[in-house]
Structures are given as structure tokens and as C-alpha cells.
Amino acid sequence: MNKIPVFVKITVKLYLLLLAIYFVFRVALLLLNLDRLGETTAWEVIQAFVMGVRFDIVTIGFVIAIPTIALTICSFWCTKCRIFEKIYTIVLTVCFTITFGICAADIPYFDQFFDRFNITAFEWMATGDSVFVFKMIFEEPTYILMMLPVLGAGFVFWYFCNKILKNSTGWEEVNYWRYGIYTVLLWGLVFIGMRGRLNEKSPIMVGTAYFCNNAMLNQLGLNPNFTLARSYLDSKDPDNQSVSFMSDDDAIKNVQEYLGIETPNPDFPIARTRDFSTTLGSGRNDMRPNDYNVIVVIMEGMSYNKTSHGGNTQNLTPFLDSLMDNSLSFNNCYTTGTHTYCGIYSTSVSYPVIFRNQALKRIPVLQYDGLAATLQKYGYQTVYFTTHDKEFDNVAGFLSQNGVERIVSQADYPVSEVKTTLGVPDDYMFRFAMPIFDEMASNNRPFCATMMTASDHGPFYVPDYFEPRSEDIRYQITEYADWSLRRFIEMASERPWFDNTLFVFVADHGAVLDTDYSIPLSYFHTPLVFYMPKHLQAVENGSIASQMDVFPTVMGVLGKNYVNNTFGIDLLKEERRFVYFMGDDKYGVLDDEWLFINKPSEGQKGLYRYSEKEKKNYITEHPEIAEEMQKYGESSWQVSEYQIVKKKTKFLSHE
């Protein structure tokens, strides 16, 4: 050991120290997600941790590289210098404490999205919403507690780094030949470690971590600092700024076939006229066009898996379950993305979301032929309700440009009723809305309202007047959200406009309640309920559906002629072959049997029999199924991008 240069011994000891700290964070992530682990073996868990060492070494290498160059030079030409040691220790402590902070932030992020920490978590910082998000974070006690392991890990690193340097010996014993050889060896190993693999064509990538069919273990090996850096670099790649799956002409041709467009408009390729003057779709008792009021409730985080219909045995949503029993409901409906803005966008204007492109914040804000804009042409009054700040995610700007005349938000509620950064509790928003609906109904004009709930999202707040059955706050808040829906319908049923109102219930997105695949289906699977007991038959429909189908199906229920210039279909008259959804950097396409998953940046593809919960990848056995599903989803996203870029989201000729 005395022949090994001092800079090598210091560097190796620091690597081992850092690997130990990252190991602790990885163990914590595993222990907090044991319920997502599923069936596995001890050997597979060990493989995940071994894979984790590879990604940890990459992270360490990029952070420690420059300080280690200084250490190497100092050991060649300097004697032991305490000032250098202090500077070296402080620099490394600051740098690595930041990485520990990312490891800590990764734990709640993973809990929410079943994805390792990435650039998506920071995108709000460039859009003016940072203060809002910081308030949400600091109002959630569990997020604040994550600072403790960060500070603890930083202190542990500082203590041992300082001790390693202070006790280092052999600074004066410089043999330049031996030091030169060790320098080449050390930096060769550091460079290889930074690349993560020996293959000359490509360094280590996120997909390298996927070694088995267990989605939890495949992600466990990743280091969140690596995924953050990789996602940032990918976001700056010009090829990732807009989708380019195929030519626009090929995509348009495919989508026209999928939507049954036989004689397309030359200027608006997906526009099709819907004429209900002769026949109307099934599911209605009254076949005449009507000026029914429309209230769409977008439920925060209401995964289908939370309901008894979805197999939940805790009876968290008794009212929503009863609603599904007495409504036209679709039990195989999926959202288009994993964020609230995705749900607002796709439900309102029936367009899909595309990777990380924040649809509501595109410049310029385009006009679409969505629900509010279309009904506004029929004389409808339009309103949107949110529990909190209307400017968050540019919701107000987007909706105001797309047919919403009035937006009720936190600024309209009494200050005393605002309980968290997410504003007022759900049931208060519903109570506040009642006199507004009464006023609108008195104007002898129908109204269309969209209501975005928020209670089932942290920071959680359960009002004192609600008594939950569950002990866990996560279940309590779902019980409260369901109770709020009950109170809403009870209050509405006492109004004279109730019988003439179509209520639609859908989620912005679901929640991570299953982890069978790298895209948790529970994050996209949502209830879709059309409730109007006097006019709609109670039917449970098992057809594939998307939240994009809300607008066309509402128009089908109303029986009003319109031009459908969207990607949604009327579920009363049409059938979907596939649904498709985005998870930031990966996507899924699904029918009633198969789930196709693709992460283009990593070339990771999978085909699974999700209906049987099989984890076997059938991609090599059924490539034709995977290819057709991939073509369907990518054609749709490509045409969506085409419509937006060419500003064809508004069908101008139907004014």
C-alpha cells in the first residue's frame, strides 16, 4: 500500500464512501416501494444493486473529475497542504450534497410518477410557476423531512472526506515513473467509469438498467442524478423538440383511415362533419337535439384502480362506484398523459399530449374546436372552476383563448377558505359553484362548465367536518374527494336545472397503484361517466375509450351538428381500435388485450398481454402487432404536431 500514490488512495476511498451513501438512498427507495416490487428473486434484487453501482460510478466520475485533477497535480509537485485539503473538502462536500439532494427528491418523485427524477421536475422554473410549486412542496411535511437525510449525508461525507485527507500520508514520496503509471491507470478507470461501459459505440444509457421484466427493479439501479442529466441533454437535442416519427403525408393518410375519413377536406385533413339531423347514436332515450347543460368534472388523480369497479377492496369511492352503476360509464378509458395540464388540455380540446411539450404554454396560444368553443357557438354560457391560482400552467390564458368566458379561481374565494397552495377544498368549490349555476340557468341559456378538483393531490388537507374511515392520509383524501362528489350531486339534484344537465366525470390522470410495467397503467386508467338519469340509460361499456372522446361524445348526447376537427370520437357511434398515451419520455399504445411500450430515446420496446398481467415481452413473437400499434400511436402524434405547427387546430370554415 505504501507504493500506491496518495492521490490514488484518496480517490479510491472517496469512491467507496460515495458508493456507500448512494447505496443507502437506493435501499431507502426500495424499502419505501416494497409493495411495488411484485414477484422477484433475491438474485434479481442483487443484480439491480450491482447495476446501481455502475450508474453511481458514472455520477461520481463526472462530479469528482476536475477536483481529482487538482489533487493529482498537487500530489506531484506539492507537499501536504492543509489549505488545499480544506478547499478540496469544501468543494466536494457542496457538489455531492447537491447530488444527495437530488437522491432525496427522487424518492417522493418516484412515488408520484413511478419514474426516476428528470428534467420534467424543473420545467416549471422557466415558466413563472416556481413560487406556486415551492409552496406546494413546503406545505407537505413529508417533502420537508427529505431535507434531513440530505443534511445527514452531506455531514457524513464532509466528516469522512476531511478525515481521509487529514490522515493521508506519503505526499513527499514521489516516484515520477510510478506516479505516471498510476495516473494513466487511474484516469483510464475514471474515464471508463464515466462512460459506464466499454463499448466504443455508446456510453451507458438509461436502457442499460433494464435487465429483467420487473419494472421496479429495472428502475432501481438508476441514479437520479444520471437520469436528470440525461433527460436535460435529451431535451436540448433538436431532434427532440418536435416529433418526427414519419412524414406528415404518411401520418395523415394513416389517421384519416383510423378516423374513417373517406373524403377529407384538403385544408383540414382530420375535420369531419357530424350531422345528427337524421339519426342519433344509441344510449339516449330522447332522440331530438337538446340544449342540455353540460358539467364536466375533471377529478384530480382519480385512477380507476381506486374504485371498487377497478378492483379496490377498501371501499374508498362508494359514491363514484354507485354513480357508475347508474350511468353510461366506460370502464376501459385512459388519459393521454401523467400531468394535470395533460388532462385539462385533452379533455377540453380532444388533442393528445406529446412528450414534454407543455400543451397549454405553447406560444402562440392556438384556438381549437373543443367543447367550450363549439357549444359557445350554440349560445352556451361557458365557465371553468379551479380551486387554486388560475394562472398556474397558463390554464386561464389557454382556456380564455378557447371559448371559456369566465374562470372562477382562488382570487374569487374568501381568504379564510383557502387552506393550502392548492386553494380551497373540493367540496367548497362545489358549494361556491351552486349560486353561479343558478344564476346562469336563470338567463334562459344553457351553460357548459368544467370543474378541476385538486384535493387528491399533495399537500393534502382533510376538512374537520369530514370523518374518514381510513388511517392513512392517502386513503382519507380519496374518501374525502368521493364524499365531495356526493355532496355536489346532492346539491345539484335540488336545483331545477338538474334534470336538464349532463354530468361528465373523468380524471386528469390516475395514480401509481400498479407497477407491472414501466408505464403504470393505473396512472392512465380512469373512470369515464356520463350521468343524466332522466335521459341516459345506465350502461357499463367495456369499449376502449380516451379522455379525448369526452367532447365528441357530449355532442353525440346533445345531438348537435358540428365539425369534429379533433382526435376524439363519439363513443355512442364509433369504436376505437387503440388508445395511446405519453409518459414524458416514453409512450404506450393499448387495446383490449395488448400493451405496447416504447421509449424512443433508448430504443426500448415491449409488447405485453396486460389483460393477463403477464410480464413476458412478446415483441419478438408478435412483431406485426407491435408494429401496427406503434404506427397507430406515432401517426396520431405526428398529425397532432402537424395540426399545431400548421395552425389547423381551428376549423375556420364552420363559422
Is 90 within the bounds of a domain? Answer: yes
At 323, is the secondary structure helix, strand, or coil? helix
CA atoms of 244 and 285, how far apart (whole Å): 45
CA atoms of 596 and 587, how far apart (whole Å): 8
Is 1 within the bounds of a domain? Answer: no
The H or E element that residue 159 is part of is helix 147-166
> Is the domain of 180 the same as that of 268?
no
Q: From the first residue on, what is the mean pLDDT of each consecutive set of 10 residues in the chain (655 residues)?
A: 80 95 96 90 94 95 91 78 90 96 90 83 61 64 77 95 87 72 86 81 75 85 92 68 85 96 94 78 53 97 96 96 97 94 96 83 83 95 94 86 93 94 95 98 96 93 95 95 98 97 97 88 96 94 96 96 96 96 90 94 89 92 97 97 92 59
Q: What is the pTM assigned to this prediction?
A: 0.80
CA atoms of 510 and 114, how far apart (whole Å): 12
> Is the domain of 262 the same as that of 358?
yes
CA atoms of 562 and 358, how far apart (whole Å): 28
Is 241 within the bounds of a domain? Answer: no
Is 412 within the bounds of a domain? Answer: yes
Q: Is the peptide bond before 364 cis (omega within 30 degrees of 0)?
A: yes
**Quick one: pLDDT at residue 563?**
95
> Is the domain of 319 the same as that of 196?
no
List phi, psi (to 5°) of 271.
-75, 135
> Is the domain of 259 the same as that of 220?
no
**Quick count: other Cβ atoms within 10 Å of Cβ 499?**
12
Is 243 within the bounds of a domain? Answer: no
Place of cell 419494472: 215
Full domain range(s) for residue 123:
6-236
**Quick one: pLDDT at residue 131?**
65
CA atoms of 277 and 4, how far apart (whole Å): 89
> Is the domain of 207 the same as that of 75?
yes
> What is the C-alpha radius of gyration for the chain, rounded to an integer number of angstroms?
28
Report residue 48 as a C-alpha cell.
439491480
Place of cell 487529514: 166
How many domains is the chain partitioned into structurally? Answer: 2
CA atoms of 345 and 362, how far apart (whole Å): 12
**Quick one: pLDDT at residue 210?**
76
Which of these three, 209, 236, 263, is where a domain ends? 236
**Quick one: pLDDT at residue 258?**
96
> Is the domain of 117 the same as that of 221?
yes
> Is the domain of 207 the same as that of 284?
no
Which of these three, 188, 213, 236, is where a domain ends? 236
What CATH number is attached to the domain comprising 335?
3.40.720.10
Which of these three, 236, 270, 297, is where a domain ends? 236
DSSP 8-state secondary structure symbol assigned to residue 420 = B
> Is the domain of 259 the same as that of 208?
no
> Is the domain of 548 the same as that of 606?
yes
> Is the domain of 214 the same as that of 278?
no
Non-local CB neighbours of 243 within 8 Å, separated by 6+ positions: 354, 355, 634, 637, 638, 641
> Is the domain of 47 the same as that of 190?
yes
- Contact assessment for residue 601 and residue 240, using Cβ atoms and an 8 Å cutoff: yes
**Quick count: other Cβ atoms within 10 Å of Cβ 178?**
13
**Quick one: pLDDT at residue 621?**
96
CA atoms of 624 and 216, how far apart (whole Å): 28
Is 192 within the bounds of a domain? Answer: yes
Is 141 within the bounds of a domain? Answer: yes
**Quick one: pLDDT at residue 177?**
77
> Is the domain of 167 the same as that of 313?
no
CA atoms of 224 and 206, how far apart (whole Å): 10
